């Protein structure tokens, strides 16, 4: 899976990041009291033309706040540094705090963000059904939660291209992805300036940052996986932990004996991390050093409260390979490792596929929950078919919606450039918006509290021909407005009671409204009104010569 991001060959170098609110909305902070501390919980406030407003979950950090000063060299304010870290038995992790009945500031903040009780947040974390990726050394991040009882989250992968670039250019990829709704980002940088790039991103990121440390470890041995050692890997993990990485993908389930299981597959091993570990195991004919040193790794992650994202190194890379023995053998091992990690107080989520046809998707969630004690599932799509390169944001969003409805907590986005090249800025936005659609559709299907409110608000605006509100309530106001402008650019069209799709004569919405008005005027019930109104419309239709398409007047 290609994962890094380029700014596009033709794009000019970026010397600043995108700031300012999304059109039609303003940054707003809800003040929440938690044990004598006032928490400022961000929302994006969409101001409507009827005088009302609608608040939505906001991942964009201070970048969309007109009153904030952005200084990339200084980084974002260290929001969580002043928050207390209560005493606990064992390492100070959200899991240990939750288990001991403590509602942390992070949990209170999350409860306000999600519109749920703080105790629900605590109990889900305590049960290991949800995680709060929040390294003590990344105090700039705004707390968020990944778990099936909460809104489905999405991750966007970013990373530098081979050529070194400016701080603004690297940070902009993160700012751009979170502007459109990425709940976390993963920095999958490779190449020379990997440490520095990550530092820039972390110091400026309002969302949790994930990495795959084996990628940097591989750089340290000049790209030869057989030269990797536990020591090099461990030191890389500590280096990244000190910088503040919030969650780490660890492919510790790729065992030596599973590697042959992937040999007969149509697409073999498609995970980068998985193939690195498989190569190491085969070359040394030894068990993976990630597996044999897993306890020590747990101790390191516990100290920082870094969350494990146990990697799916043997995920299927084609429809033909979905749900095969290699994939599920690894999943069983991930279940075993989940229990070990939790015994060290470390939070865990589980990575999942890949490429899976629709009828085989739900089985993935069922098995993951059974084997991994319902640890949050975090999947890459999955792509529901292999036949549409250039449209894999769509093939994968189909799978993502189904797997999220079944209980997956976070979806890793796929962009239109998947399998083809590095995504540019537009691809990142398309990927994020596409995944917001999948995630939100799952929230609706799961009847997540508050999810439908936005649909209702938008539909009401649509029915009342409040075009501007319809645009602004949408996931991508800019594109919605642009499409409307293409055929009806004039300002009066933003209040007109029709659009160019049906024209002024046959707008179903207008007709329904006429029916309502008719009912009111004639004191009829809805059913009577519909009948009477229909008869009137039918006469009008006949008068006009029974033509469906009339010239626009
Ligand atoms: C998510 C679920 N399964 C894989 N992912 C993501 O894919 C993972 O978190 C990382 O961002 C990306 C590449 O992982 P591999 O190819 O090294 O497994
Ligand atoms: Fe793929």
pLDDT digits (tens, 9 = 90+) for 290-318: 999 999 999 999 999 999 999 999 999 99
393 is in an annotated binding site: no
The protein residue with its alpha carbon nearest to ligand 1, atom 9, reads: 249
The answer to whether 412 is a known ligand-binding residue is no
The number of the ligand nearest the C-alpha atom of 268 reads 2
Domain with CATH 3.20.20.540 in the chain: 130-448
Query: Among residues 260, 229, 100, 249, which one has the least CA distance to residue 184?
Result: 249
Strand partners, 292: none
> Which ligand 1 atom is nearest residue 215's CA?
17
Segment 496-518 shows an average pLDDT of 78
Contacts 24+ apart (CB under 8 A), 338-344: 338/128, 338/310, 338/372, 338/373, 338/375, 339/373, 340/294, 340/295, 340/298, 341/294, 341/298, 341/301, 341/308, 341/310, 342/95, 342/128, 342/373, 343/298, 344/91, 344/295, 344/298, 344/299, 344/301, 344/302
Both structure tokens of 143: 């707390």
CA of 282 to the centre of ligand 2 (A): 23
Q: SS3 string of 420-455?
A: CCCCCHHHHHHHHHHHHHHHHHHHHHCCCCCHHHHH
Separation between Cα atoms, residue 127 and residue 372, nearest integer Å: 12
For the beta carbon of residue 323, count every other beta carbon within 10 angstroms: 17
If you classify domain 130-448 with CATH, what class do you get?
alpha beta
Asked if 149 and 369 count as a contact pair (C-beta separation under 8 A), the reply is no
Does position 1 have pLDDT exceeding 70, yes or no?
Answer: no
Q: Count the Cβ atoms, other than its own, within 10 Å of residue 45.
A: 18
Quick one: which of 346, 344, 64, 93 has its CA closest to 207?
64
Distance from the alpha carbon of residue 527 to the mean position of ligand 1, in angstroms: 55
Would you say residue 43 has pLDDT above 50? yes
Q: Over range 171-175, report the average pLDDT.
A: 94
Element housing 204 (H / E)? helix 194-204
Question: Is 378 flagged in the annotation as binding?
Answer: yes
- For residue 232, what are its two tokens? 């090099």
pLDDT tens for 145-170 read 999 999 999 999 998 655 656 788 88
Q: What is the pLDDT of residue 2?
A: 38
- State which of 271, 379, 410 you would mutate to test the pocket of ligand 1, scoring each by most atoms of that ligand within 8 A of its C-beta: 271
For the segment 218-235, the average pLDDT, to the nearest whole number, is 97
For residues 47, 51, 56, 60, the Cα torsion angle rounded to the nearest 10 degrees is 20
Candidate from 212, 378, 419 with most ligand 1 atoms within 8 A of CB, to mutate: 212
pLDDT at 53: 98
Burial track 451-490 (b if 16+ CB lie within 10 A, e otherwise): beebeebbebbeebbbbbbbbbbbbbbeebbeebeeebee
Torsion over CA: 132, 133, 136, 142 (sign): negative
Q: State in Å: Cα 271 to ligand 2 middle.
A: 9
* Of residues 386, 447, 440, 377, the one with CA closest to residue 410: 377
What separation in Å is there between the alpha carbon of 385 and the centre of ligand 2? 10
The pTM assigned to this predicted structure is 0.92
- Nearest bound ligand to the CA of residue 272: 1
Residue 460 pLDDT > 70: yes
The reply to whether 215 sits in an annotated binding site is yes
Tokens in use for 94? 């959200």
Residue 355 known to bind ligand: yes
Cβ distance 519 to 529 under 8 Å? yes
* 5-14, 244-253, 344-353, 541-550: least confidently modelled range: 5-14
Which ligand 1 atom is at minimum distance from the Cα of 251?
Answer: 18
The pLDDT tens digits for 244-267 are 999 999 999 999 999 999 999 999
Q: Which chain residues have CB less than 5 Å from ligand 2, an ion?
A: 317
Q: How far is the CA of 90 from the centre of ligand 1 (A)?
A: 30
- Is residue 251 part of an annotated ligand binding site? yes
Q: 277: how many CB neighbours lie within 10 A of its CB?
A: 30
Q: How many angstroms separate the alpha carbon of residue 419 from the centre of ligand 2?
A: 6
What distance in Å separates the CA atoms of residue 293 and residue 236, rounded to the nearest whole number? 14
* pLDDT tens digits along 461-504: 999 999 999 999 999 999 999 999 988 877 787 878 877 777 77
Q: How far is CA 415 from CA 3, 156, 381, 382, 397, in A?
A: 9, 9, 10, 12, 10
């Amino acid at each position: 899976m290609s994962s890094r991001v380029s700014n596009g060959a033709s794009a000019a170098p970026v010397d600043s990041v995108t700031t300012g609110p999304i059109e039609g909305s303003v940054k707003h902070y809800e003040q929440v009291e938690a044990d004598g501390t006032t928490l400022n919980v961000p929302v994006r406030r969409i101001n409507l033309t009827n005088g009302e407003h609608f608040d939505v979950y906001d991942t964009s950090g201070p970048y969309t706040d007109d009153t904030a000063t952005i200084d990339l060299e200084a980084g974002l304010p260290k929001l969580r540094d002043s928050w207390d870290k209560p005493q606990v038995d064992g390492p100070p992790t959200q899991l240990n705090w939750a288990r001991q009945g403590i509602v942390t500031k992070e949990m209170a903040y999350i409860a306000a963000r999600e519109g749920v009780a703080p105790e629900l947040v605590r109990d889900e974390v305590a049960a290991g059904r949800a995680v709060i990726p929040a390294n003590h050394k990344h105090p700039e991040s705004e707390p968020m939660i990944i778990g099936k009882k909460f809104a489905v989250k999405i991750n966007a992968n970013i990373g530098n291209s081979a050529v070194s670039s400016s701080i603004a250019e690297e940070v902009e990829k993160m700012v751009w992805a979170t502007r459109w709704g990425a709940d976390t980002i993963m920095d999958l940088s490779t190449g020379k300036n990997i440490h520095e790039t990550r530092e820039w991103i972390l110091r400026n990121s309002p969302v949790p940052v994930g990495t795959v440390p084996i990628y940097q470890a591989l750089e340290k041995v000049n790209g030869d996986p057989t030269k990797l050692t536990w020591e090099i890997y461990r030191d890389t993990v500590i280096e990244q932990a000190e910088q503040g990485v919030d969650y780490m993908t660890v492919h510790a389930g790729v065992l030596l004996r599973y590697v042959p299981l992937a040999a007969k597959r149509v697409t073999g091993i498609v995970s980068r991390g998985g193939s690195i570990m498989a190569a190491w195991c085969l070359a040394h004919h030894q068990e993976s050093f990630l597996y044999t040193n897993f306890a020590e790794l747990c101790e390191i992650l516990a100290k920082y409260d870094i969350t494990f994202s146990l990697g799916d190194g043997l995920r299927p890379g084609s429809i033909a390979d979905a749900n095969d023995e290699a994939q599920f053998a690894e999943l069983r091992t991930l279940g075993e490792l989940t229990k070990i990690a939790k015994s060290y107080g470390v939070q865990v989520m589980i990575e999942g596929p890949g490429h899976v046809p629709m009828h085989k998707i739900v089985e993935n969630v069922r098995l993951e929950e059974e084997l991994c004690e319902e640890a949050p599932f975090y999947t890459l799509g999955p792509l529901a078919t292999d036949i549409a390169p250039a449209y894999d944001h769509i093939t994968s969003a189909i799978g993502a919606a189904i797997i999220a409805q079944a209980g997956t907590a976070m979806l890793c986005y796929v962009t239109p450039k998947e399998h083809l090249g590095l995504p540019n800025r537009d691809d990142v936005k398309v990927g994020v918006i596409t995944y917001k659609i999948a995630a939100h559709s799952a929230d609706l299907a799961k009847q997540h509290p508050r999810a439908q409110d936005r649909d209702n608000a938008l539909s009401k605006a649509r029915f009342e021909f409040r075009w501007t509100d319809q645009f602004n309530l949408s996931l991508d106001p800019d594109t919605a407005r642009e499409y409307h402008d293409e055929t009806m650019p004039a300002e009066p069209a933003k209040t007109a009671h029709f659009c160019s799709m049906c024209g002024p004569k046959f707008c179903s919405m207008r007709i329904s409204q006429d029916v309502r008005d008719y009912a009111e005027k004639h004191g009829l019930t809805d059913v009577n009104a519909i009948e009477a109104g229909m008869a009137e419309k039918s006469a009008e239709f006949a008068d006009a010569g029974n033509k469906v398409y009339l010239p626009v007047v």
